[in-house]
Amino acid sequence: MKVKQIEISLEKKSGRLAEISHTLAENAINIRALSLADSADCGILRLVVNDTTKAQQVLQENGFNVGLTEVLAIEVPDKPGALDCILQMAGKAGLNAEYVYAFSKKSGESGMLLFRFDDQNAAAAVFQNAGCRLLSDDEVHAL
């Protein structure tokens, strides 16, 4: 199971992130998780939202260059070592994590790790075979 995320390259210009958040807010789109990474030339904003299709449309209409990529959303207990457990499985399977970001649903209960691996299909199989709970688009949207 894979989750669609929005990916936007942001030029380094004051207020660009605020323009995106305002556009989403005006259109009643809720951000479930986000990651902003910096590079020499631009920032890379990754968003998981409650309505990916609508978000892509309204962002494009407002001049943003929007891409869609897929990540694996793995539900984990919110406790020390949860990330390590997932990374140890990935390492033993020869998987390379390109990036990861996290979302805690309720402190002390559960969280969600959003991964992009070099081989998403192989990663999904590894985690499913290990009994990990992979969340679907619908489950993440409903959070």
Same domain flag for 10 and 63 = yes
Check whether 39 has a pLDDT greater than 90. no
The tally of domains found in the chain comes to: 2
Same domain flag for 15 and 76 = no
Domain extent, residue 98, equals 70-141
Same domain flag for 65 and 87 = no
* Structure confidence at residue 41 as a pLDDT band (50, 70, 90): confident
Predicted local confidence at residue 43, as pLDDT: 87
Strand-strand pairing, 31-38 and 66-77: unpaired
Q: Of 12, 36, 69, which closes a domain? A: 69
Q: What is the domain-level CATH number for residue 25?
A: 3.30.2130.10
Same domain flag for 112 and 133 = yes
Residue (of 34, 109, 37, 30) closest to 76 by Cα position: 109
Q: Of 25, 54, 69, which closes a domain? A: 69
Strand-strand pairing, 66-77 and 97-106: unpaired
> Using the 8-state DSSP alphabet, how is residue 98 labeled?
E
- What proportions of the chain, in percent to the nearest 5, are helix, strand and coil? 35, 40, 25
Tokens, residue 98: 């390109």
The predicted model gives 42-54 an average pLDDT of 93
> 0.85 exceeded by the pTM?
yes
Q: What is the domain-level CATH number for residue 134?
A: 3.30.70.260
């259109």: which residue's tokens? 27
- Identify whether the C-beta of residue 73 lies closer than 8 Å to the C-beta of residue 32: no
The predicted model gives 74-98 an average pLDDT of 94
Residue (of 87, 96, 102, 98) closest to 48 by Cα position: 102
